[in-house]
Structure 1
Amino acid sequence: MRIALFEPEIAGNVGAILRLGACLGADVDLIEPMGFEWDDRRVRRAAMDYIDHVTITRHADFDAFRSAIGSRRLVLFTTKSTQSAYEFDFTADDVLLFGKESAGVPAAVADICDARIRIPLRPQVRSLNLATSAALALGEALRQTGTLPSV
């Protein structure tokens, strides 16, 4: 299982997701450009020493990322979907894609994804924080596929 971030804008979110990947055993793909410098201290502060326990791959752009993941299924998490993440059948080699905090992904990227799903929310709110969304999504995907780390 992999988490992919499309042009992330907030260093702290990336750091938190790197820590999530380290703790739950998911590799993290960062699709550039990012809205901050890679050596931003906020990334390391949020990831803490866990950053050394996650495999991070940076991609120059979406095309480079798409080439790198090959035929793996690309599952986009978006507020523009009606398919619930809790009614979706994940597979162990899925790539969970999340868009940039301010705008998600462009239509051209959404169109080539294999699936578009959402985390159900109350109607009076718009969206969750990126790191929170990634945690809920990865947890459900790992639960479904039986690949959660053992305690």
Structure 2
Amino acid sequence: MLNIVLFEPEIPANTGNIGRTCVATNTRLHLIEPLGFRLNEKALKRAGMDYWEDLDVTTYIDYQDFMDKNPGAKIYMATTKSPNLYTEAQYEPDCYIMFGKESAGIPEEILCHHKEDTVRIPMVGDIRSLNLGNSVAIVLYEALRQNGFAGMNEEGHLHRLEWE
């Protein structure tokens, strides 16, 4: 099972959308405090729809608490500062993919110790970053693809009509 880690997320709708993506992909969500919202906030639940109750989510009081409770975890850090493309990483089935807060990303004090484990999504020009929910989906689905979409429905079906 893959793991998504949000470092100090600030916007409840982003976290709600990411939670829904995690439920749809059987991915664990890890939230590193402080959060910019309360977990019972209406905007969070609205974005996650009725999936939030099915989410496997763990919170941590800070980055050190996360590291202490996940010793030896393989962690990829998504950042616009990385020299490595997200498609170049080889995501293990139980790895952790960390994303930083919307306003500042993952602190450079953390990143500078993990150069080989950082990944970036390519963009043109001086765009600062993509939306956090979009970024999580892009990298998560690459990790899922590399792991053969294990346990996922790969085929859809029409409900009322037949394919021609």
Q: Which TM class, normalised by the smaller chain length? A: over 0.9
Partner Cα separation in structure 2 for residue 13 and residue 124 of structure 1? 22
Tell me the CA shift for residue 133 of structure 1.
0.2
2:142 match: 140
CA contact (8 A) 1:92 1:147 kept: no
Partner Cα separation in structure 2 for residue 7 and residue 53 of structure 1? 22
Cα deviations by residue, 1:75-130 (Å, 9 ceiling, x for unpaired): 00000012101122111111000000000121222234460110111224221000
Higher-helix-fraction structure:
1
Which runs of structure 2 are paired with 1:95-106 in the superposition (5 Å)?
A: 95-106=96-107
Runs of 4 or more, structure 1, over 4 Å off, are: none
What are structure 1's unaligned runs of at least 5 residues? Answer: none
2:37 match: 36
Which runs of structure 2 are paired with 1:126-137 in the superposition (5 Å)?
A: 126-137=128-139
Q: State which drifts further: 77-86 or 104-113.
A: 104-113
After TM superposition, the score normalised by the length of structure 1 is 0.94
What are structure 2's unaligned runs of at least 5 residues? Answer: 155-164
CA RMSD, 1 decimal: 1.3
Partner Cα separation in structure 2 for residue 127 and residue 8 of structure 1? 15
Identity %: 37
1:116 match: 118
Tell me the CA shift for residue 147 of structure 1.
3.4
Amino acid in the other structure paired with 2:145: R
Partner Cα separation in structure 2 for residue 29 and residue 138 of structure 1? 14
Task: Report which of the two structures shows the higher radius of gyration computed on alpha carbons.
Answer: 2
1:25 match: 26
Partner Cα separation in structure 1 for residue 113 and residue 41 of structure 2? 31
Tell me the CA shift for residue 141 of structure 1.
0.5
Q: State which drifts further: 117-126 or 97-106.
A: 117-126
CA contact (8 A) 1:31 1:58 kept: yes
Cα deviations by residue, 1:49-82 (Å, 9 ceiling, x for unpaired): 1112220001011111111222111100000012
